[in-house]
Structure 1
Amino acid sequence: MAIVTPDNILKLLYSYNPWWRNGKIPGDFVKPVKRIAYYEAMKMFVHPELRRFVILSGARRVGKTTILYQIIETLLKKGIEPRKIIYISFDHPLLKFCSLDDIIEIYETNISSSEDAYLFFDEIQYAPDWGNWLKVYYDTKPNWRVVATGSASPVLVQGASESGVGRWTVLHVPTLSFYEYCELLNIESKLTEIVNDILELNRLSKYEINNIMNAVSPLQRYFNRYLIVGGFPELALSKDDFFAQRILREDVVDKVLKRDIPSLFNIRNASVLEKVFLYLCFNSSNIINISTMSKELDNIPSATLSNYIEYLERANLIYISYPVSLDGKQILKAKPKIYIADAAIRSAVLMLDNVLFEPEEMGIMVETTVYKHLVSYYNRVRAKIGYYRKTGGTQKEVDAVVELPQGKVLFEVKYRENPVIKESDAIIEMSKNSSEAVGSFIITKKAEDYGKLPVDAKVPVMRIPAFAFLYILGYLEKIKFACN
């Protein structure tokens, strides 16, 4: 008996698209809180002049499917004919036996043959030859609109660069920012819009800064749990933090390492990939020397390690930060600094149960979280983000440097009880001497540890607690990119 028949495909499509029967989307499919990525995707999806297909790329369980359902709900409320809206998840085993076009042909023959349609493809990287079919649809179906998702972006990015130029755009969906986490849990602050960009904090008076800190200070009590469960919506809403870590290991990490990446890149021995990721978890926020890494991992070839690191980045499990210059000197060797995509992933993989009582581990978690927020915020304006390391003599480092058209913004994480900030620290030295610096921030721990440092520098150096900085950055991100 044939497995893949039109009847079997139709049954599956009807189960995926309950609105074909009653015109409504089930309430448990959607969530009331909409992420920034929803607004970005929606704006591009329905733009009346600049037509683009949209692909949402992000780690498993960051809420990509929920965003698809939220867009579908919006279309239904606008009165779009339900049968013109089709959702397909290519994670289903049955759909791996047929092409994307076969499924769409069954849909057009049996459900809707309208010239305009709204297509939602989940985990599209598992659809054979998906890039070419999207190209065909874009070129031959001018009234079709498409939103797709993918957990493994190497294939998505490759497809976008080859077939998708001018046809679709890949939007990255990171894990929840601290602001989005608070919004999801209905945790409110008294913060109101007072600045348009994080750099403007340096221009505020002491009175204005005090008002901001008073408005956000109640949020500090929620920050530690955010670090523990991470920015995964379903896990954030769970009350079982121990189980949440298990889900992180099984659904977010294991499926990517043992299934997604091996199947997409023809990796025969997934255990080597697991070793590489475990090594990176132990060394998160550190500069990685590939030669040293090779020796410590049973002489795995350097080329293999470099490839696997790239795969992990494209699979949304890590961020790679490369050095940038602040002193005008040419950077000859670009050794990367690695960050796990969410601090909670690292804790889950390493099974760190008492991390809140380990200052060094907390420092790593906060630096990882700060970097993730910077990537989310500044990638939307296509800014480059890296780190600075002074060569020669005593090596000094600035944790993160953002390159903007007007100059470079410096960020240093000192998440400890009584941080000592010296005149000789790289961030102070560069704030004084670098002609490229336009702003400096030192991320601290205590709620009262904020304000401008009394140093004679070309640009102000602002101390600000981690929870406040991350909340404000997420707040500004929502205002700038979701509400406009």
Structure 2
Amino acid sequence: MKISKSELIAILSQLNPWWKGERAVPNLPLWRRAVFHQLFAWVANPPAPRAVLLSGARQVGKTTLLLQSIEELLKRGMPPGNILYATFDHPIIKLAGMDAVLEAWQERVSQSKGTEYLFLDEAQFIQDWGAWVKHQVDFNKNRRITFTGSAMPLIRENQESGVGRWHTIRLTTLSFYEYIQLESYKEIKFFKDFFEQAYGGSQFGFRNIELKDDLLTGKLFKNLFQNVDLETLKNKLKNTAQLKEYDQPKLPELKSLRDLFNWPQQEFYKASELAAPYVARFHQYLLRGGFPQVAQIDNINQAQRLLREDIVDKVLKRDMTALFGVRRILDLEQVFLYLCLHDGGILKMEELCENLGVTRPTAQNFIELLEAVHLIYRLPPFGYGKNVLRGKFKIYIADPAIAPAVLLKGDSLLDDSEVLGRATEAAVFKHLFTRYYPQNIHFSYWHGKEKHEVDLVGEVNNEVIPFEVKYRSTSTNIRQLKGLLELCQKKSISRAYVITKSLDDFGLLNSTKLSHVRIMRIPAPLFCYWMGEMELSQTRSPD
């Protein structure tokens, strides 16, 4: 079927309103993910002549990041005709193909001399996309290409073509720190909508707000609304059902987890007191998760239903068929359900196959595909060589809220200590993975001969650093950490971390068994907050 050029031009004109002198994207979120700065640096001033692949799960925010990059380019004076956005999730564009899209673009608008910017959404639907990107990078030096994909085969199947041709940025779900920022953004959005209705809000300069933790202290709003009586406005609006109070004490900044070992005892007490309001928000984060649209829904059951139906179900029932030709959808769903029930557990393939009645090759293929579409992470056992090859993987669901949503837990998750602990461990791993992924640091788990285990082991700057999650009501004591102590002794490890539940379970854990090891206890809300904050900063220490 041939697509007429006029029809294609009409669709591209709708997707690229800046060609007609209109605002880049109406209602584009004011708030930006932490990864935006890294992405835009590659778009505006790439350190190497490469394309950029933004890879991440469905509805994790990839398209928004592309459009925010376009908005920033236009703000900096780039010619509108030199910027193309196309999504190959659109049936007409997918059917037309890349060459037809370029021809329609060049016919619709004239390009100025200089750099051309191509933003291509859902590139996995472009035929022979790897060869096309390779050719563009090699022979069209004036083009900067940024493309997204929801499936890891974009990287794996085209590794040979991709070497030196594109730089990959992995986009995970929101960190806890970003989740808090997004809640604050909801308040900004309320003020924005209020003033746009009352006064026509363009005069107040709402674009590109850099959010801070003290949004309601008045500093930001005094800059935005210099002629408004803020206290009167705030007191009036706080009486409405539309506005939530998001005042939170500012937590101490942390440049590195290592710095905690130098804190005096009073700093731990102070941080614990300041963190008290964050505990409930951390639990809400575990319930709603880190998909931006879902995270903004107030009703927990509605949020989890959207997560289950609009993200998980569409990946399993639509994307798996479209991208990989999967036909046994029911078996695939059962495998994923099994993984949700064993989130954070060591995968026992024999048990899975026996319980579900599937063959080992089928189950193995499904697990690899689930990882490819960013629904799970697989962790190998700690070690090298044959031990790793023969070892069993540990499975984490990609976001802490996915498993509870699939299992229809609702807010009863908070009353189920076992499931809550698994969700917390998944959140801890995801924050570590996101924080260290740009440095190509990988994580594993450790399983000793005495059946003692350590949840997570990272190798940072040639140093082995273990992390154990103990999200339980009782305070952590050294007797509960046999696996951690065994690993530290065997590998001569000097520091380790235990992620705890209570804000009182915070600080250095004294051990007389291994004098050379320092073990730091960190409450999970603080740990995830600091990991997300460190991700945002490009100047912080790597560990």
**The TM-score by the shorter chain falls in which range?**
over 0.9
Paired residue for 1:255? 314
| 2:265 aligned with 1:206 | yes
In the aligned structure 2, how far is the partner of 1:144 from the partner of 1:102? Answer: 17
Report the equivalent of 1:148: 147
Match of 1:87 in 2: 85
- Partner in structure 2 of residue 426 of structure 1: 482
Q: Give the secondary structure class of the aligned counterpart of 1:437.
A: coil
Which amino acid counterpart does residue 298 of structure 2 have in structure 1? K
Structure 1 residues 128 and 483, CA gap change in structure 2 (3 angstroms): farther
Q: Structure 1 stretch 208-217 or stretch 87-96: which is displaced more?
A: 208-217
- Letter matched to residue 86 of structure 2: I
How far, CA to CA, are the matches of 1:156 and 1:118 in structure 2? Answer: 22
Deviation at 1:212, TM superposition (A): 3.5
* Counterpart residue type for residue 55 of structure 2: S
What secondary structure is seen at the aligned counterpart in 2 of 1:323?
A: coil
Alignment of 1:14-33 (within 5 A): 14-28=13-27, 30-33=28-31
Q: Does 1:382 align with 2:381?
A: no
Is the 1:441–1:464 Cα contact (8 Å) retained in structure 2?
Answer: yes
Name the residue aligned to 1:466.
524
Match of residue 297 from structure 1: 356
SS of 1:383's equivalent in the other structure is coil
The separation in 2 between residues aligned to 1:432 and 1:308, in whole angstroms, is: 36
Deviation at 1:123, TM superposition (A): 0.9
**Preserved contact between residue 155 and residue 162 of structure 2 (Cα < 8 Å):** no
Give the conservation status (yes or no) of the 8 Å contact 1:62–1:174: yes
Q: CA deviation at 1:378?
A: 1.5
Segments of 5+ residues of structure 2 without an aligned counterpart are: 185-245
- 1:436–1:52 CA distance, 2 compared to 1 (3 A): farther
Counterpart secondary structure, 2:168: strand
Distance (Å, rounded) in 2 between the aligned partners of 1:280 and 1:240: 26
Where does residue 312 of structure 1 map in the other structure? 370
Q: CA deviation at 1:38?
A: 0.9
Could you tell me whether the CA contact under 8 Å between 1:202 and 1:439 is conserved in 2? no
- After superposition, the Cα gap between the structure-2 partners of 1:307 and 1:145, relative to the gap in structure 1 and judged at 3 Å, is same
SS in 1 for 2:403: helix
Q: Distance in 2 between matches of 1:17 and 1:113?
A: 14
Overall identity of the aligned pairs, in %: 37
- Separation in 2, partners of 1:146, 1:270: 35
Cα gap change, 1:295 to 1:174, in 2 (>3 Å): same
| Structure-1 separation of matches of 2:169 and 2:388 | 30
Tell me the residue number matched to 2:392. 335
Question: Rg: which structure is higher?
Answer: 2
**Residue of structure 1 in register with 2:56 after alignment:** 58
**Aligned pair 1:138/2:194, yes or no?**
no
Pair 1:348-2:408 in alignment: no
Give the C-alpha shift of residue 178 in structure 1.
0.2
Aligned position for 2:180: 182
1:218-297 aligned within 5 A: 218-297=277-356
Alignment partner, residue 128 of structure 1? 127
For 1:311, the aligned partner's letter is: L
Q: Does 1:451 align with 2:507?
A: yes
AA at the equivalent of 1:87: Y
Instruction: Provide Cα deviations, 1:198-245, integer angstroms capped at 9, x if missing partner.
Output: 233223332333344344333222111100010011122222322221
- Give the structure 1 partner of residue 219 of structure 2: none
* 1:402 Cα deviation after fit: 0.6
Once the two structures are superposed, residues 358-394 of structure 1 have per-residue CA deviations (whole angstroms, 9 ceiling, x without a partner) of 1111011101111111111121211110101112x4x
Distance 1:74 1:156 in 2: 27
**Are the aligned partners of 1:431 and 1:439 in contact in 2 as well (CA < 8 Å)?**
no
Contact 2:476 2:505 in 1 (8 A): no
Residue in 1 aligned with 2:37? 39
- Cα shift at 1:332: 6.3
Q: Which residue does 2:234 correspond to in 1?
A: none
Per the alignment, do residues 397 and 431 of structure 1 end up closer, same or farther by CA in structure 2, a change over 3 Å counting? closer
User: How many angstroms apart in 1 are the aligned matches of 2:67 and 2:379?
Assistant: 33
- Provide the C-alpha distance between the structure 1 equivalents of 2:370 and 2:19, rounded to a whole number of angstroms: 38
1:164 aligned onto 2:162: yes
Aligned length: 476
CA distance in 1, matches of 2:479, 2:541: 41
Q: Is the alpha carbon distance of 1:113 and 1:424 closer, same or farther for their aligned partners in structure 2, counting shifts above 3 Å?
A: closer
Instruction: Evaluate the alpha carbon distance shift between residue 380 and residue 251 of structure 1 in structure 2; reply closer, same or farther with a 3 A threshold.
Output: same
Distance of 1:359 and 1:169 partners within structure 2: 41
TM-aligned CA deviation for residue 64 of structure 1: 0.9
Partner-residue secondary structure (3-state), 1:172: strand
The aligned counterpart of 1:173 is: 171
Matches within 5 A, 1:57-76: 57-76=55-74
8 Å contact kept, 2:448–2:483:
no
CA distance in 1, matches of 2:325, 2:304: 29
Amino acid at match of 2:167: T
Contact 1:119 1:145 (8 Å CA) reproduced: yes
| CA–CA distance in structure 1, aligned partners of residues 44 and 528 of structure 2 | 31
1:88-122 deviation per Cα after TM superposition (whole angstroms, max 9, x unaligned): 11111112312212211221233234453111111
Contact 1:85 1:117 (C-alpha < 8 Å) held by counterparts = yes
Q: 1:311 to 1:436 in 2, by over 3 A?
A: farther
Note the alpha carbon deviations across 1:327-362, whole angstroms, 9 max, x for none.
x99556310010110121111111112111111110
- Of the structure 1 ranges 30-39 and 173-182, higher mean CA displacement relative to structure 2 is found in 30-39
Task: Note closer, same or farther for the CA distance 1:329–1:126 as it changes in structure 2 (3 Å cut).
Answer: closer
1:478 Cα offset (Å) = 1.0
SS at match of 1:448: coil
Distance 2:182 2:541 in 1: 17
Query: Cα 1:318–1:331, aligned 2, differ >3 Å: closer, same or farther?
Result: closer
CA distance in 1, matches of 2:308, 2:105: 37
The answer on whether the counterparts of 2:276 and 2:503 sit within 8 Å (CA) in structure 1 is yes
Q: 1:45·1:52 contact (CA, 8 Å) conserved in 2? A: no
- Range that drifts further, 91-100 or 363-372: 91-100
Deviates more, 1:221-230 or 1:405-414: 405-414
Is the alpha carbon distance of 1:189 and 1:166 closer, same or farther for their aligned partners in structure 2, counting shifts above 3 Å?
farther
Name the stretch that deviates more: 288-297 or 222-231. 288-297
1:421-452, Cα deviation, whole Å (9 max, x unpaired):
34363344236513342421111111221111
CA-based RMSD: 2.3
Partners of 1:238 and 1:106 in 2: CA distance: 39
TM-score, normalised by the number of residues in structure 2: 0.83
| SS of residue matched to 2:401 | helix
Assess if the C-alpha contact under 8 Å between 2:475 and 2:502 holds in 1.
no
AA aligned opposite 1:239: D
For structure 1, the residue ranges without an aligned partner over 5 or more in a row are none
